[in-house]
Structure 1
C-alpha cells in the first residue's frame, strides 16, 4: 500500500440554542476583495492548540475543536444537538438496546493510506479503553465487546441498554486515528495527528501554530471551501483587536472586554451560545469541602449576576447547573438554587462549625482568571469567607493531579449530555476531583441511558439525572457564557454549532 501521509515539520519535541450574530465590516488576511471564495485561501484561526494531538490522550474539553481539523468521528452533531452521519453513514440498535451496529462509508482512508474500516474502529475503541493515559476510557466502559461483522459493519456490545452511543461517538471519544500510526508510534501522535478529517497537518510548532491543508480525500471534501487552516493560540486580550485588524488573525475568540473595541473597529462580532459554563471544581474528600454546609454557604455568598455584569461585561447568564437554558437537559427547578444571600451563607457556616468564618484557597489556572477570582473573593468576604488566590503550577493538570481542592474552571460540555454528567460527576470523571458519586446519581444516569432519544420520556428522565447530580455533588456552577468570535469581512458563513466547530461551507475571499 502506498503511503499518502503528508510530512509534518514538528519543531521541538494542539436543543436549540440562540444563533445570533451582530455587526459587520472590518478587515483581515487572505482577502481578494472580490466577494468570491479563494480555493487556496488559508483561514488564520485564533483558537487553543490542544494539550495533545492524540484524542485518546488529550486532557481538555476544548481540545475537540482543534482535533476536529485532523480527525473525523463516527458521528457528527447537528446544530440542534441531534446525531447525524459522519464516518458512519448509518447505525441501528437491536431490539433490547444493548447492541448497536455502525455502517461505515465505503472507500475511505486515513491520511497515511490506511483504510477506514470496521477493523480500524475496533482497534480505536480497544485502544481508548486500555491505553494507560486514556482520558476516554470511562466513557467507553459501557462497550464490552466489538465485533467486526464485515469490512464496513461493526457492532458494539453494551453492558446495558444505552441509547447515548451515537451522541458519544460524535465527540473526541468517537474520533478515529489510523491504527497503523498508533501501532508504529503511539507517543508520536501527540505532535503528529493521523486522521481522516477535513484537513491534514503539514507543520506544527508547539505553543505557536499548526498549519493544515485541505484533505482532498475527506468524504465531504466538496463542502470544504478552504485551502487550509492555520491554527494559532488566541491573541492576548490587550492586542486581540489589533491582531484581527492587521490580518494576524482572520477569526479569533475574544474576551467580553474586547467586544466594544471590535465593534468600534467595524469587525464582525458573532455571539455564539454554547455549552460553556464557569464552575468551581471541588474535592469533597478534603476538609473543609467534605462538609456540604460549607459548600452551600460558598454558593449562597456568590452574586452570579454581578459576576456576569462585571467580569463578563453582561455576556452570560447566572446558572446553577451544567447546561444552558433552552437545552433539553436543562432543569428549570434548579434556577436560583442557591440565591445570593450573605446572611444565609453566614448562618450555614455557623451551622457547619465556623461561627467566626472560614479561610479557603481558590486556585486559578492562569492570570487570565485573576479578575474573576478577585471578584469572587470580594463577594464572599461579606459572609465571613476569606479567600486566598493562588495560581496553579504551570503544566500541572488538576484533572490528573487533583492537588487543588477548590479550582476555578470552565466546562465546555459534551455531545452526549450523559457523558457531560459523567465527566463532571462520575466516579472516574476528570472534573470530579473527589472521584466519588452517590448510588442515587449512578442510578439516575443509568436510567436516562436506557431511554431512546426520541422517546417522550427522555427529557424528563434526563432532567431527573441533572437534578440528582447538582443536588448531591459538590461542583459549584456560576454562569453560562457565550463564545465570542470576531472576524473581518473576508470571512464568510462562519458556522454556529452547539458542539464541535466544523468548517463545511466556511470560505475566505
Structure 2
C-alpha cells in the first residue's frame, strides 16, 4: 500500500540548500548520477506502508517491491510472458490445470530455497490470509499441489489461460517462505525478503529504504546499478529542486511538475506504456443511494472527464470513460460514446426516478493530498445536476479500512496498469476485487465474458475481442465511474539510462549510469 503525507519539509530544505553548492558538479556524491556514481537516489511523495506483495493493495506500490521480490514469470516491453523464477509452464488438455517448473538451485535472499513448497505456501497464504489483497485475483486458482521439489501444479476452477500473466509482476512476486511463516507482520513492515535483484540493508518505516545489489539473483549479470535509496514522504514541491541540487537523481513527480523538470533538463519517463494512472469514482451498490441503478447511471452522465483532464492533467492527461488508456489491450472504443457528458440527461434520469433537486446526498471519501483537487472538481459537477456531496478525505490507514473493508458508500481512488489484463478486470468487477467497492457484488454478464476470455489462449486471434468484451461488460454492469487518465511521471538525471517501458512496474534490468548529466 502507498499513501502520501506532507512531511520532512525542513529537512529536505536544508538538504537542497546544501546540495545547491554541489549542483554544478556532476561527479559529486550528492548528485548520485554523475561519473563514478552507482546509486539511485530516489525521491517520492508516496509512503510505502506495506512490503509484503500479498497485502499490498496498491498497484503503485509495485514500483517499490520489484527491486526486492522476483515473480515466477515476468513481462517484456511487448507485454509478453517470459521466464523469471520459473523456467516454464504447461497446461493440461482441458486448460484447467497448469504445471509450473522452477529454475534449479535458486534461493531467497535469506538463503532458503526457492522451491515448489515455497510457491504452494505463497498461494495458500494469498487465499487464506485475512488481509490478503490478492485473494480476489486468485478466485479461479482452487489449489496448489507440490509434484516434486521444483514442480508445482495449480488446479483451476475453470479453463484459464491467463494464469502465467497473473503469476507475473505483483501477482507472482514470491516472498521467502521462512520469513513469511516466521512473522508475516515483520515481513511486511521491517523485514521484506524476496528473491529479487536487491536486498534490504536498511529500512526506516514510512521514511526510507536502502537496497543493495544481491549477487544471488538469477539474472544478476543484467543488474548494473549497485544501490537504490528511496526517500518517502517528500513534499512534492521540493522534488524538482532536489533533482537540480543533486539530492536526487530519480524522482516520481506530479503532472504539474513535468514541464518544470523538462525545462530544467531532466529526462521524463511517462506514457501509457509505462507509468500511466487512472482515477475513478468507486460506488458501492450495496449502500444507498447507489442501490438504485438510476443514480449510478445519472452520475455517469454528470461526470465531465474533459474537465478533469484539462484542470488536473497538465497537458499529459486524457479524458477517460473507462479504466484503461487508449492503446491498452482492454480499451474499448465504444465505451467512450456510451455515457457522454450530459448534465441535462443526468437531471432527467433523476427526475424520472423520483428524485427532487438536492434529494440525493453522500460523502466523497478518498486519501488526503492525493485526491483533494479531484474531489473538488467532482463535487462541482455533481452539484450541477442536483446531487449534494460532502468531501471527507483522510489518511491512507483510516481510508483503507473503509475502502478495503467495503463499508464506504463512495470513494475516489486510482491505480496504474496491472500485469494481467484479466486481473485488471477482476480487481474492478469481480467478487473480492480489491478495487470493487461493491464486492461481493458482481454481474452475470461480466462473469460470462470473463469465462470466455479466460478460456482463450493469449496468442489466439480471438483474444483481443474477448478481452474487450469482458472489459465492456464489466464497466457497463459495474460500479466504477472513470474520471481521467494521467501520466504518472518520473524525472531522472540523464546520467541514468532509460528504464524498460513495461506497463505497470519499474524494471532495473540493463539500467546503467553514464558520464553525462
Q: Which TM-score applies when normalising by structure 2?
A: 0.89
Indicate the residue corresponding to 1:451 in structure 2.
456
Indicate the residue corresponding to 2:135 in structure 1.
137
Distance, in Å, in 2 between the alignment partners of 1:256 and 1:320 is: 20
8 Å contact from structure 1 (residues 120, 179) kept in 2: yes
1:310 partner SS: helix
1:91 partner SS: strand
Structure 1 residue 59, shift from structure 2 partner:
2.4
Does the C-alpha gap of structure 1 residues 452 and 351 become closer, same or farther in structure 2, counting only changes over 3 Å?
Answer: same
Structure 1 residue 319, shift from structure 2 partner:
1.4
Indicate the residue corresponding to 1:200 in structure 2.
199
Distance, in Å, in 1 between the alignment partners of 2:346 and 2:415 is: 25
Distance, in Å, in 1 between the alignment partners of 2:32 and 2:179 is: 37
Distance, in Å, in 2 between the alignment partners of 1:119 and 1:456 is: 36
Does the C-alpha gap of structure 1 residues 373 and 49 become closer, same or farther in structure 2, counting only changes over 3 Å?
Answer: closer
Equivalent residue in structure 2 for 1:100, among 98, 101, 111: 98
Partner deviation per Cα, 1:110-160 (whole Å, 9 max, x = no partner): 011111112221222122222222221222232233232222222212221
Indicate the residue corresponding to 2:41 in structure 1.
44
- Superposition pairs for residues 152-301 of structure 1, below 5 Å? 152-190=150-188, 191-233=190-232, 235-273=234-272, 274-301=275-302
Equivalent residue in structure 2 for 1:477, among 465, 477, 482: 482
Indicate the residue corresponding to 2:78 in structure 1.
80
8 Å contact from structure 1 (residues 64, 172) kept in 2: yes
Gaps (5+ residues) in structure 1? 1-24
Structure 1 residue 382, shift from structure 2 partner:
2.2
Structure 1 residue 108, shift from structure 2 partner:
0.8
Structure 1 residue 169, shift from structure 2 partner:
0.3
Indicate the residue corresponding to 1:60 in structure 2.
58
Equivalent residue in structure 1 for 2:378, among 363, 367, 376: 376
Does the C-alpha gap of structure 1 residues 414 and 26 become closer, same or farther in structure 2, counting only changes over 3 Å?
Answer: farther
Q: Does 2:457 match 1:460?
A: no
Indicate the residue corresponding to 2:13 in structure 1.
none
Distance, in Å, in 1 between the alignment partners of 2:469 and 2:181 is: 42
Indicate the residue corresponding to 1:421 in structure 2.
425
Q: How many aligned residue pairs are there? A: 481
Deviates more, 1:137-146 or 1:310-319: 137-146
Distance, in Å, in 1 between the alignment partners of 2:276 and 2:92 is: 31
Structure 1 residue 229, shift from structure 2 partner:
0.7
Deviates more, 1:379-388 or 1:484-493: 379-388
- Superposition pairs for residues 365-404 of structure 1, below 5 Å? 365-392=367-394, 394-396=396-398, 397=400, 398-404=402-408
Does the C-alpha gap of structure 1 residues 66 and 290 become closer, same or farther in structure 2, counting only changes over 3 Å?
Answer: same
Indicate the residue corresponding to 1:113 in structure 2.
111
Indicate the residue corresponding to 1:330 in structure 2.
331
Distance, in Å, in 2 between the alignment partners of 1:371 and 1:32 is: 34
CA RMSD of aligned residues (A): 2.0
2:240 partner SS: helix
- Superposition pairs for residues 342-361 of structure 1, below 5 Å? 342-357=343-358, 358-361=360-363
Indicate the residue corresponding to 1:309 in structure 2.
310
Structure 1 residue 234, shift from structure 2 partner:
5.7
Does the C-alpha gap of structure 1 residues 360 and 129 become closer, same or farther in structure 2, counting only changes over 3 Å?
Answer: closer
Structure 1 residue 304, shift from structure 2 partner:
0.9
Distance, in Å, in 1 between the alignment partners of 2:101 and 2:223 is: 23
Indicate the residue corresponding to 1:13 in structure 2.
none
Deviates more, 1:384-393 or 1:339-348: 384-393
Q: Which TM-score applies when normalising by structure 1?
A: 0.90
